Amino acid sequence: MTVSETFLRYLVSIAVFVTALSPVVLILLLIRDWKGKKLW
């Protein structure tokens, strides 16, 4: 595997993983704000 292929593989894999976690974080924050009556 070349350097550029390895770089591409890791870059994209990490980006997909972090993006997949984001909705979970947002929904947890929403539940916290909702319970604390701090939604808006």
Which residues contribute to the site for another protein (CB under 8 A)? 2-5, 7-9, 11-12, 14-16, 18-20, 22-23, 25-27, 29-30, 32-33, 38-40
Query: CB 3 → another protein: shortest distance, Å?
Result: 8
CB 16 within 8 A of CB 10: no
Query: CB 11 → another protein: shortest distance, Å?
Result: 6
Listing DSSP states for 11-22 in one string gives HHHHHHHHHHHH
Query: CB 34 → another protein: shortest distance, Å?
Result: 8
CB 33 within 8 A of CB 39: yes
